[in-house]
Chain A
Amino acid sequence: EVQLVESGGGLVQPGGSLRLSCAASGFTFSDHYMDWVRQAPGKGLEWVGRTRNKANSYTTEYAASVKGRFTISRDDSKNSLYLQMNSLKTEDTAVYYCARGDSGYDLQSGNYYYYMDVWGKGTTVTVSS
């Protein structure tokens, strides 16, 4: 069974740090791009960032709202994805989901495609004093 399980959430004070983990199973983790997506209480989905696979040099991208504060990494030997969150703000309070990315170029249309086809259940991060 394809599965993603997040962990590491909790209560942290503003300005603090937290590291989230995502354990993958049931698929070849090293082949895939992986994303973090968050959802603040009562709000919509917000993309946090992604890491590409080894074939694409593990490059990362981030949303403007977290760039410079959050770092995404992965350990393919452990089938694990990580999100290091520093300088946390109250507005970072959210449920954080890891998701598996599927990407490529559709030769017929010439369009690039990128979507997330498997999601974890999420872990809750609360930033509050």
Chain B
Amino acid sequence: SYELTQPPSVSVSPGQTARITCSADALPKQYAYWYQQKPGQAPVLVIYKDSERPSGIPERFSGSSSGTTVTLTISGVQAEDEADYYCQSADSSGTYSVVFGGGTKLTVL
């Protein structure tokens, strides 16, 4: 089955740059998307189509793609960025079922 692999955790100090990766064999053919989820809240879309940022999302959030890996970069991390981050793509086998990565807990030290 199609899987997206993320590191379980990433830790950075305030003001530093956090990078969260997501990898899968089908990613060069399918876009990736990123969601932020804070405790007790619903997910929020922060990046779509690998690198596009929805309106209202701070410019410090960016996305990039290289081969089979996509990366969410948060520049100048703030305490409020501490959250779980999930990548998402679509299974390209035909029905385009949604697939989520396992999630990465971002800790701001």
- Report which A residues bind B (CB closer than 8 A): 35, 37, 44-47, 50, 61, 63, 97, 102-103, 106, 109, 111-117, 119-122
Chain A residues with Cβ below 8 Å from B66 are none
Chain A, interface SS category: strand
Closest to A115 in B: B33
CB-nearest residue of chain A to B97: A61
The minimal Cβ–Cβ distance linking A118 to chain B, given in whole angstroms, is 8
Known: A44-B103, A47-B99, A115-B48. 13 other contacts (CB 8 A): A44-B84, A45-B88, A45-B100, A46-B100, A47-B98, A50-B98, A97-B42, A106-B31, A111-B31, A112-B30, A115-B45, A117-B45, A119-B43
The distance in angstroms between the C-alpha atoms of A113 and B88, with both chains bound, is 11
Instruction: Enumerate chain B residues within 8 angstroms of A112, measured Cβ to Cβ.
Output: 30, 90, 92, 96
- B96 to chain A minimum Cβ distance, whole angstroms, is 6
Asked whether A117 lies within 8 Å of B31 as measured between CB atoms, the reply is no
User: Which chain B positions have C-beta within 8 A of A35?
Assistant: 98
* Complex-state Cα separation, A57 to B86, whole angstroms: 30
Cα–Cα distance between A117 and B47 once the two chains are bound (Å): 10
Contact A44 to B102, CB < 8 A, known contacts A113-B49, A115-B48 = yes
Complex contact B88–A119 (CB within 8 A): no
A68 to B71, CA, bound (A): 36
Which among A102, A114, A120, A121 is the interface contact of B98 at CB below 8 angstroms? Answer: A114
Residues of B within 8 A of A102 (CB): 48
